[in-house]
Amino acid sequence: MSQKDKLIQRFLSKPKDFTYQELKRLLGYFGYVEDTVGKTSGSRISFVNHDSNHRFNIHQPHSPKELRTYQIEEIIERLNEEGLL
C-alpha cells in the first residue's frame, strides 16, 4: 500500500489526531493547493483545485493542531461530491 493510500485510509477512519499538515498533504494528492482568502483572512484557509475550479474553506486549527471531527466529516463529504473518494 502506498503512502497516499495509507493517508487516505487514515483520514477516512476519522482519527482524533489528524493534523492540518497531514490534510495539506492529502489534499495535494487530489490536486488542491492552499490559498489564503485575503490579507486579513486570519485562520480561514481555502483549498482550491484549479483543474476543476472546486474550492472549499476551513478554519485552520491553532492549538492543538489537530482537525476537529466535524471538519474531517465535511471534507470527506466535499471530496465525495467531487468523486475523489
Residue-wise pLDDT for 48-83, tens only, equals: 998 888 888 888 887 778 999 999 999 999 999 989
Please report which helix (H) or strand (E) contains residue 85, including its range: none
pLDDT digits (tens, 9 = 90+) for 11-57: 999 999 999 999 999 999 999 998 866 655 567 788 899 888 888 88
Strand order in the sheet with 44-49: 32-36, 44-49, 54-59
pTM (2 decimals)? 0.84
Please state, in angstroms and rounded to a whole number, the distance separating the CA atoms of residues 53 and 76: 18
